[in-house]
Amino acid sequence: MTATDLSLVKHEADKLFQRKRLIRFAIPAVIAVYLVYIVFAFDLPGLAQRANLDNAVTLASDSWSHKVHVTRDNRSGNITYAVEGERKGTYPEGQRPHWVSGDEVVTIDLGGDHIVRYLPENRTEIEIPGFPLITVQAEGRALISNLPEDLPDWISASDRRIGITTPEGRITLTGARTEVFNYFPGWELFWFTLDSPYHGQSFATILIGERLDPDRSNISGAVSDWWNNAMWRHKDVAWAIGETILMAFLGTMGAAILALPLAFLAAKRFSPVMLLRAATRRLFDFVRGVDALIWTVVLARAFGPGPLTGALAILITDTGTFGKIFSEALENVDDKQIEGVTSTGAKPLQRYRFGVIPQVVPVLLAQILYFLESNTRSATIIGAITGGGIGLMLTQAIQTQKDWEEVAYYIILIIVMVMFMDWVSGWLRGKLIGGKE
Amino acid sequence: MSDATLGVVPQSVDTIQSSYMAQVQRRRLYGGLTLLIFFVLMVSGFNIADGRNAGGFWDGLHQIGDYPADVLSEAWEKRAALPGLIAKYFPALVETINIAAVSTLIGAIGGLFLSLLGTRGLAKWPRIIPLFRRLSDVMRAVPEIVIALVLIFVLGGGPVPAMIAIAIHTAGALGKLFSEVAENADLKPVEGLASTGANWSQRMLLGVLPQVAPNYVSYSLLRFEINIRASAILGFVGAGGLGYELRNAMAWGPGRFDEAAAIFILLFATIVFFDQVSSHYRNRLTEGQGQ
């Protein structure tokens, strides 16, 4: 090798290094510039003002706890006790939580020496450690209190409304009613509502103890009361999850059934007519391109909201995807196996049955099962749009903005459902195809 | 001895044949039963879905073309306004694409770390490999809409909740695909680098990434296609972009169908365009690897 050759090689190597160095710096630089653009395009600086941290706190605390409302109607003087303030969670007449005592003067012990007393004639006394005793008198629509001018930030007061937030609970007072919210960890009434005879009974009592409801045996009564729980609606939730899985199942399998014959039309080796092939392929591209969102919107107009609409939207979109994948698989079929079958004197149909199908079935099944899992997730989203399944229940629960423990419950169920479908599809894949590859 | 063996042969052929036939029949029976169960599941599933739907399948089948026909005819009447409407909704389209791009970018970076930290032989802390694997499983299992809806409540509407939601799901999904690729990576360069005293990030950057980069980029492109669809759908539940405009246009009903049509056209064109571009580059990446 001469010196000129060497210097040429060195020059080229230098250039290559320079290019590589440039690329190494250019790619992160481009990404950084793009991210800076996004920061402004998405208005991240303004997000801090739009973000509502109180909402985040409510969400975080409400999702694992519940509150019991003690409400005094200042006109009638009636006191009601209700879990989450819902009618379905109201304590029956004559019953009340154990931390409430007294008849003439109702004493509510919030814990940590925080005590609220409902006195006759719409008077309220609130005892908070480290703060002078607060007394409030409701007069018509106005409130007269002994609160000082200078208030700590956990008390907000006007002459119409007083709100006190302590770590032990919350108190709001207006002319019309006085309310105390006492917080407890856990999901209350998850098993039985207050009107069920099984509420508050231990598991052992229900299982082997004496009969609590004379009309029913303990186990069947308990199961039926749990299933029909008005607060948590276990029955509706189970149906909703069933609907979501049904949408995914019907959509995926229907798409596979439709796509298989069409894929033969689109594959070069089985469909000699060019025009037909091209037409089928464009059809696949079209239904895929229109996307599940638009199909959902269009189909919801024809079929109304419900699981069938979701299933059809998945079916139509996936027919395109499956058609594309299947026809590619059919084109990659190995000729040797078909020749081998032909050499035994097999007729064309037998050639397909024993030469082609055994080769493509593992690929097709693997794809179908993979899509079954992925479509469970899509069905949750589509359900939120068309109104079916667990997606709808989740959207509704979030929109009411108060049942965060139900939102947490649904989210856990959705994750469990998707992981279950993932496991089922992996298990079936192992059973039907055997092994990984 | 040989006589005795010969004498047994005709008998054993018979038994072999009959047991083979019995096996074939049993196989057919099982196959038929599976097919029957599948068929029953499909039919009963369809009936349940049909029963719980607001409108029936057979009634709806006649009306399936009504809505597209209404939209198309109204759009055709006002076809002069269509280019203007497309221009009007173009910023929303850019937002949808931006959501998909950023979330794919962030998700790919997250998936990269999840895959490297969750693959045997490459992990920095081999003891907590299962932790990273479970983490990517859970991130993959959460549908985007769950995170998006919760974040919309906290952060308010707009593109950021959708971006975060899609990025989380993408990181989980890509983490799994990436780690399958990383498992097949050749460990010799890593060992070579380790012998020169390279630290973990240098080993990954110089030893593993050059091997897996074509596959990683190819999977990320595929994910980008999927994420465009996802970001359009999330817009429909209030996360900004084209989906949000579509919901508003649809809420107006007749009279605004030209706007819906413009959005349909934009969305369709975008999805087809990015499908083609990404499949072109993916083919090039995987072809280059085969050689």
Give chain B's end-to-end CA distance (angstroms, integer): 58
Distance between B189 CA and the closest CA of chain A, angstroms: 20
Taking CB atoms and an 8 Å cutoff, what residues of chain A touch B275?
Answer: 285, 288-289
Predicted local confidence at residue B113, as pLDDT: 92
Please check whether residue A8 lies inside any domain of the structure: yes
Please check whether residue A281 lies inside any domain of the structure: yes
pLDDT band with cut points at 50, 70 and 90 for residue B291:
very low
In this complex, do A253 and B150 lie within 8 Å of one another by their Cβ atoms? no
A312 and A279 within one domain: yes
Please check whether residue A190 lies inside any domain of the structure: no
A400 and A272 within one domain: yes
Is the pLDDT confidence value at B290 over 60? no
* Mean pLDDT value of segment B142-159: 86
Residues B110-119: pLDDT tens digits? 999 999 998 8
Domain extent for A153: 67-185
Q: Which residue has the tokens 């025009």?
A: A275
Mapped onto helix, strand or coil, the DSSP state of residue B121 is: coil
Cβ pairs bridging A and B (under 8 Å)? 181
* Mean pLDDT value of segment A347-368: 85
Predicted local confidence at residue A436, as pLDDT: 45
Residues A395-436: pLDDT tens digits? 888 888 777 888 888 999 999 999 899 899 888 888 887 654
A165 and A99 within one domain: yes
Number of structural domains (chain A) is 3
In this complex, do B149 and A395 lie within 8 Å of one another by their Cβ atoms? yes
Residue among B34, B35, B43, B52 with most chain A CBs within 10 A, to mutate: B52
Choose among B177, B153, B181, B176: nearest CA to B165. Answer: B153
Nearest CB neighbour to A50, from listed B63, B156, B268: B156
With CA atoms as reference, the chain B residue closest to A375 would be: B143
A255 and A146 within one domain: no
Taking CB atoms and an 8 Å cutoff, what residues of chain B touch A42?
Answer: 98, 102, 158-160, 163
Q: Which of A210-219, A348-357, B30-39 has the lowest mean pLDDT?
A: A210-219
* Mean pLDDT value of segment A350-371: 86
With CA atoms as reference, the chain A residue closest to B240 would be: A42
pLDDT band with cut points at 50, 70 and 90 for residue B256:
confident
Distance between B213 CA and the closest CA of chain A, angstroms: 14
* CATH number of the domain within which A355 lies: 1.10.3720.10
Is the pLDDT confidence value at A83 over 90? no
Taking CB atoms and an 8 Å cutoff, what residues of chain A touch B150?
Answer: 59, 398, 407, 411
pLDDT above 90 covers a percentage of chain A that reads: 14
> Residue B243: which residues within 8 A CB-CB, separation 6 or more?
A293, B96, B231, B232, B233, B234, B235, B236, B237
Residue A62 vs residue A379, higher pLDDT: A379
Taking CB atoms and an 8 Å cutoff, what residues of chain B touch A32?
Answer: none
pLDDT band with cut points at 50, 70 and 90 for residue B9:
low
| Beta carbons of B262 and B112 less than 8 angstroms apart | no
Predicted local confidence at residue A322, as pLDDT: 93
A355 and A239 within one domain: yes
Taking phi first (over 0 means left), then psi (-120 to 50 degrees means alpha), and beta for anything else, what does residue A140 get? left
In this complex, do A250 and B144 lie within 8 Å of one another by their Cβ atoms? no
Is the pLDDT confidence value at B175 over 90? yes
Please check whether residue A228 lies inside any domain of the structure: no
Is the pLDDT confidence value at B220 over 70? yes
Strands across the sheet containing A142-145: A100-101, A106-111, A114-119, A123-128, A131-139, A142-145
Predicted local confidence at residue A172, as pLDDT: 85
Please check whether residue A222 lies inside any domain of the structure: no
With CA atoms as reference, the chain A residue closest to B159 would be: A42
* Mean pLDDT value of segment A334-352: 86
Output the CA–CA distances (angstroms, integers) from residue A424 to A214, A364, A373, A378, in the order listed. Answer: 42, 17, 8, 17
In this complex, do B267 and A294 lie within 8 Å of one another by their Cβ atoms? yes
Taking CB atoms and an 8 Å cutoff, what residues of chain A touch B105?
Answer: 31, 34-35
Predicted local confidence at residue A75, as pLDDT: 81
| Beta carbons of B154 and B171 less than 8 angstroms apart | no
Distance between B3 CA and the closest CA of chain A, angstroms: 34
In this complex, do A289 and B146 lie within 8 Å of one another by their Cβ atoms? no
Predicted local confidence at residue A16, as pLDDT: 92
Please check whether residue A214 lies inside any domain of the structure: no
A380 and A273 within one domain: yes
- Dist. CA B74–CA A89, nearest whole Å: 51
Residues B91-102: pLDDT tens digits? 899 999 999 999
pLDDT band with cut points at 50, 70 and 90 for residue A356:
confident
- Average pLDDT value over all residues in chain A: 83
* Mean pLDDT value of segment B129-150: 89
- Please provide residue A156's backbone torsions phi and psi, each rounded to the nearest 5 degrees: -120, 135
Predicted local confidence at residue B143, as pLDDT: 87
> Residue A312: which residues within 8 A CB-CB, separation 6 or more?
A251, A295, A299, A303
In this complex, do A42 and B50 lie within 8 Å of one another by their Cβ atoms? no
A105 and A22 within one domain: no
A307 and A160 within one domain: no
Taking CB atoms and an 8 Å cutoff, what residues of chain A touch B257?
Answer: none
Output the CA–CA distances (angstroms, integers) from residue A142 to A110, B63, B160, in the order listed. Answer: 26, 59, 44
Taking CB atoms and an 8 Å cutoff, what residues of chain A touch B95?
Answer: 41
A385 and A263 within one domain: yes
Taking CB atoms and an 8 Å cutoff, what residues of chain A touch B246?
Answer: 293, 297
Nearest CB neighbour to A250, from listed B46, B60, B137: B46
In this complex, do A38 and B102 lie within 8 Å of one another by their Cβ atoms? yes
Is the pLDDT confidence value at B7 over 60? no
* Mean pLDDT value of segment B160-169: 92
Q: Which residue has the tokens 């997250």?
A: B110
Nearest CB neighbour to B150, from listed A288, A391, A398: A398
With CA atoms as reference, the chain B residue closest to A252 would be: B42
Q: Concatenated DSSP letters for A74-125?
A: TTT--EEEEETT-GGGBPPTT---TTEE-SSSEEEEEETTEEEEEETTTEEE
Distance between A205 CA and the closest CA of chain B, angstroms: 37
- Dist. CA B169–CA B233, nearest whole Å: 15
Is the pLDDT confidence value at A104 over 50? yes
- Dist. CA A202–CA A191, nearest whole Å: 11
Is the pLDDT confidence value at A287 over 50? yes
Work out the angle between the directed axes of helices B257-290 and B66-77 (0-180°, nearest 10): 100
Predicted local confidence at residue B1, as pLDDT: 45
Predicted ipTM?
A: 0.83
Nearest CB neighbour to B236, from listed A249, A293, A302: A293
Predicted local confidence at residue B168, as pLDDT: 94
Nearest CB neighbour to A51, from listed B52, B145, B154: B154
Please check whether residue A372 lies inside any domain of the structure: yes
Please check whether residue A61 lies inside any domain of the structure: no
Output the CA–CA distances (angstroms, integers) from residue B3 to A428, B9, B11, B14, B252, in the order listed. Answer: 49, 10, 14, 19, 93
Predicted local confidence at residue B11, as pLDDT: 65
- Dist. CA A91–CA B167, nearest whole Å: 45
Distance between B74 CA and the closest CA of chain A, angstroms: 15
A415 and A276 within one domain: yes
Predicted local confidence at residue B10, as pLDDT: 60
A40 and A73 within one domain: no
Taking CB atoms and an 8 Å cutoff, what residues of chain A touch B49?
Answer: 243, 246-247, 250, 306-308, 311
* Mean pLDDT value of segment B33-40: 92
Distance between B238 CA and the closest CA of chain A, angstroms: 11
Question: What's the predicted TM-score (pTM) here?
Answer: 0.82
- Average pLDDT value over all residues in chain B: 86
In this complex, do A50 and B158 lie within 8 Å of one another by their Cβ atoms? yes
Residue ending a domain, choose from A161, A185, A209: A185
pLDDT above 70 covers a percentage of chain B that reads: 95
A316 and A238 within one domain: yes
Q: Which residue has the tokens 């949000």?
A: B244
| Beta carbons of A360 and A419 less than 8 angstroms apart | no
